[in-house]
Chains A and B, each alone.
Chain A
């Protein structure tokens, strides 16, 4: 039995917005795998909840006319992994969310919840950064879009304005077309764990597969929020695809990552693993892009 003050079940997105306007203190609950755990801990005990779990309109993946992939915010991790559009265009996202917790968590956990909780270790977040995802938010003033990098404000805080809910995550055609990627989750166990560090890269190679036309490198837990390694990306663009260059790009990530010391892992350890993961992910991404190292 959870210590909640009240529960309001939204019947539509508009209804959810209305309920949030009526109950400004209320916490949104999607799948609940974070919110309910926090309530039990006492952190959010006694709160009002607006449940959007029943909004089936926010489930599923669609390909829009302009080639944009649209992922409904309530789509569960397991459904993202199994989705044919995801598998065809951005399979690495399906692979990344297939590393969240265990199977039951992947059935209840939603990609919207995973991004709205503002947690740096979220397995979806680094990959969404690597794909230049756009967040769709619906509120009293209607719909607005924001790039994922701007959506994250600080640890645990995202750009979710009063009475707004996240309704979708968009990946533009230019963000995925011609790219191949790879995500590595570094955790202490092979299941039921949160990332000590997550690294998601994708690359676009030249027609002859010899040159990095573009490199995108994103991290979770390398800083307070998920982030892109902009210096390393810059260093990589235009380089020939060689083992030495991959080493070089990987070493450059130290200019970008800002992990901290915590009981979970030291800064030095996370920095070391940042390099190792970047290099390994790049090598795999190159292979997936049809290149060779």
Chain B
């Protein structure tokens, strides 16, 4: 829907900006009663084993302690935690392997007991005073070792700790590699465990009201959270109400149901009194979710003319201790392998494997940042082996216009990759830099690199895609808009308001998006994930907006005696299209309709839309690095991302989102890694000082550029942008370091430790 004079495509200010720059935006803890009970969780101090006993005697004596609950007290309702839509088919349901508290400890930091106290000091003292007796079992931190026969087993149902193994077989790989004259390029690529580091930690509070349990939580997925709390407590889902206020970032960690079930349960055992459970930063790292570390193996057989004959892909994804989002991540990463550089003969396998570490879940990019690091590092390796420009090699092989994926039915409607690459090349001055840095010597060297990324929008056809919207007309002609899709910082509410304004035909300022989701009153929607919201919510906003507009026009017919075909709503007025006359304002109409003594009514519209589409969303990164060889350090000196996410709803907010994703991508490339002690399985750097996410001083200005190919399947021409910016910086940086030094680093983060080892091997130092 291309709006001529609409607000779509304009950089209007965020609808929540005023609240956020004045400190008035209320986040979960800001809303909680200051006299609420405080809960704290006791986490295991072993990586694998059984809790034999928990001595609570000392803890119970601490003044202010209200209730201690151990793993032996909680109901044995196994529940899944992934923020996936539910499936009514048991085979498609997420793995239910969690309990509120567990006596079978599977990682260092597992939840074994909880304390409810009158204040945080008493709660902390009581947690320290609990004495746990463990029966220790051997543990395993490495995916390959975990797959070996005889390795410690985490879950009974999964031999060799393999949660899942899936494959793709296209053509005949074994036969194709026999073609004479092929060059074989092979590489192993390793990505690290990293954490989301939203600045607001997971926090929730729960209380009971009218016999039901209410949880206010910093979650991306209120409606999913409701279902999981119901499952965990073994109560009907309607007995649970989830309220999601403003949240301080999520990035996928809060697309998992984290501690809401435990918090809800703790409220139920203290008579429904309010219980707050704030997860401290250290525990956010150790005991919520992390990004899957994945080890990749890629083999390419390539002809002298630069075309692929056959390709093989294997990946081993570190699931950590519990299934959470499970195999979806590795599978998504593998899924794009045959698509990105189409090749007739493909053999691909991916394994998701349990280890005794924090559970891996969703994190911005959902398997694609990992896959792109491997695939796009490999692309440069292949180009180098052939002696051709990495740019030209990509231009030759990357997915062509018209490519259709048989499974998702996604169509590459434009030659997006090449358009993005071409734009990036020009804007970045790629050719000039490539030449300038071609033959460097000395201690400090520069290099330029690039990488592309593949992405798609939402989860159809793997999972349900649905969105519902409600619009309510006020007396002044303004509307409230409600959707189940959540504002988590990305600017969704603003984009939704822009869509609603244009569809209904009213000024942007007259759209009031209800930012808070409350499962009792918000239409059903599954939440913020899979970069789905502007695309998916767009359908129900468009449909509901049209419904409301039809009702408005119908009322306008009654009130103005004009035929509906000659009426339109433009800029908040009822306009006769034949002569452009403004017949009445929407406010006049709404007031008359609401208070009419003859034919009154409240104009509202509500509808849900089932989406049976997905959309490709592609782009690339160009980057320049400076490498201090003796100092063993690489720094980004210039970086550009180019995206085709279709029609930009709000260019300024889109650009801002790209910046954030790029920053996360740079940290992924150069500094971030959650480390575990090999001897104990204990996380070593689970705080914001020792875990190195980028600060203000760690990267240069970030440039974002766009190609706006209108997405034909979309309600507003738009498609995924939330996650894509994180996907290609890491391989681009790796390829730039390769150009600068000739050293191919096959592991991230490319921090000084790695550079020291690799530069030594290369005899650069």
Q: Do chains A and B touch in the complex (CB under 8 A)?
A: yes
Q: Are B692 and A265 in contact (CB under 8 A)?
A: no
Given A3-B124, A3-B125, A189–B692 Cβ distance below 8 Å? yes
B684 x A263 contact (CB < 8 A): yes
> By the criterion of a CB under 8 Å from any partner CB, how many residues of chain B are at the interface?
28
Q: Distance (Å) between the CB of A255 and the closest chain B CB?
A: 20
Interface residues of A in 187-231 (CB under 8 A from B): 188-194, 196
Q: How far is the CB of B735 from chain A (nearest CB, A)?
A: 22
Our pick among A3, A192, A196 for the contact of B689 (Cβ within 8 Å) is A192
Q: Which residue of A lies closest to B282 (CB)?
A: A41
B625 to chain A, nearest CB (A): 15
Chain B residues with Cβ below 8 Å from A188 are 671, 692, 751-752
> Given known contacts A45-B125, A191-B696, A193-B689, is B632 in contact with A263 (CB within 8 Å)?
no
Given contacts A1-B121, A3-B121, A188-B751, contact A269 B692 (CB under 8 A): no
0/1 interface trace, chain A 35-78, chain B, CB 8 Å (1 if under): 00000001001100000000000000000000000000000000
The verdict on B283 contacting chain A, using a C-beta distance below 8 Å, is: no
A192 touching B695 by the CB < 8 A rule?
yes
B695 pairs with A266, CB closer than 8 A: no
Is B697's CB under 8 angstroms from A269's CB?
no
* A269-B752 in contact (CB<8A): yes
B698 at the interface (CB under 8 A from A): yes
| B695 adjacent to A272 (CB under 8 Å) | no
- Is A272 within 8 A of B671, CB to CB? no
State whether A273 touches B694 (Cβ < 8 A): no
Question: Which residues of chain A come closer than 8 Å to B694, judged between CB atoms?
Answer: 189
Q: Is A276 an interface residue (CB 8 A)?
A: yes
Residue of B nearest to A4 (CB): B121
Q: Out of B128, B631, B677, B698, which one reaches A276, CB within 8 Å? A: B631
Q: Is B756 part of the contact surface with A, judged by Cβ < 8 Å?
A: yes
B675 within 8 A of A: yes
* Residues on B with beta carbons closer than 8 Å to the beta carbon of A189: 671, 692, 694-695, 697-698
User: How extensive is the interface on chain A, given as a class?
Assistant: 20 to 34
Q: Are B765 and A272 in touch, CB under 8 angstroms? A: yes
Residue from A190, A264, A272 within 8 A of B697 (CB atoms) = A190
- Nearest B residue to A190 via CB reads B697
Question: How close is A38's CB to chain B, nearest CB, in angstroms?
Answer: 13
Which residues of chain A from 143 to 173 have any CB-CB distance to chain B below 8 Å in the complex? none
Q: Which A residues are in CB contact (< 8 Å) with B690?
A: 264
State whether the Cβ of B307 lies closer than 8 Å to any Cβ in chain A.
no
* B742 adjacent to chain A (CB < 8 Å): no
Q: Does B753 contact A (CB under 8 A)?
A: yes
For the complex formed, measure the closest distance between the CB of A161 and the CB atoms of chain B, giving whole angstroms: 31
CB-based contact B121/A191 at 8 Å: no
* CB 8 Å contact bits of B93-133 with A (1 = contact, 0 = none): 00000000000000000000000000111001100100000
Closest to B690 in A: A264
Closest residue of chain A to B765 (Cβ to Cβ) is: A272
Residues of A near B236 (CB, < 8 A) are none
Tell me which residues across on chain A come within 8 A of B695, comparing CB atoms: 102, 189-192
Q: Give chain B interface residues in 678-726, CB to chain A under 8 Å.
A: 684-685, 688-690, 692, 694-698
Closest to B677 in A: A263
* CA gap between A2 and B125 in the complex, in Å: 11
Q: Among A2, A42, A269, which residue has its beta carbon within 8 angstroms of that of B632?
A: A269
Most buried by A among B119, B675, B684, B698: B698
**Chain A contacts for B630, CB-based, 8 A:** 276
For the complex formed, measure the closest distance between the CB of A46 and the CB atoms of chain B, giving whole angstroms: 8
The answer on a CB contact under 8 Å between A273 and B631 is yes
Chain A residues, Cβ within 8 Å of B684: 263
User: Which residues of the partner chain A approach B671 to less than 8 Å between Cβ atoms?
Assistant: 188-189
A191–B684 CA distance with the chains assembled, in angstroms: 20
Residue of B with least CB distance to A266: B753
Whether the Cβ atoms of A191 and B698 lie closer than 8 Å is yes
Query: Residue of A at shortest CB range from B696?
Result: A191
Complex CA–CA separation, A276 to B121 (angstroms): 47
Q: How far is the CA of A264 from the CA of B671 in the complex (A)?
A: 12
Q: A188-B752, A190-B697, A193-B689 are in contact. Are A273 and B632 (CB under 8 A)?
A: yes
- Could you say which residues of chain B place their CB within 8 Å of the CB of A45? 124-125, 128
Distance between Cα atoms of A196 and B756 in the complex (Å): 14
In the bound complex, what is the Cα–Cα distance between A276 and B444 (angstroms)? 13
The 8 A CB mask of A268-283 against B (1 = contact, 0 = none) is: 1100110010000000
Chain A min CB distance to B667 (Å): 10
Can you name 9 extra interface pairs (CB under 8 A) apart from A45-B125, A265-B753? Answer: A46-B125, A188-B752, A189-B692, A189-B694, A190-B697, A191-B697, A193-B692, A272-B765, A273-B752
Q: Top 10 nearest A-B pairs by Cβ distance?
A: A190-B697, A191-B695, A191-B697, A276-B630, A269-B756, A188-B692, A3-B121, A263-B684, A192-B695, A1-B121
Contact sample, A vs B, 9 pairs, CB 8 Å cutoff: A1-B119, A45-B124, A186-B631, A189-B692, A191-B695, A263-B685, A269-B752, A272-B632, A276-B631
Binding site for A on B (CB under 8 A): 119-121, 124-125, 128, 630-632, 671, 675, 677, 684-685, 688-690, 692, 694-698, 751-753, 756, 765
A: residues with CB less than 8 A from B are 1-3, 42, 45-46, 102, 186, 188-194, 196, 263-266, 268-269, 272-273, 276
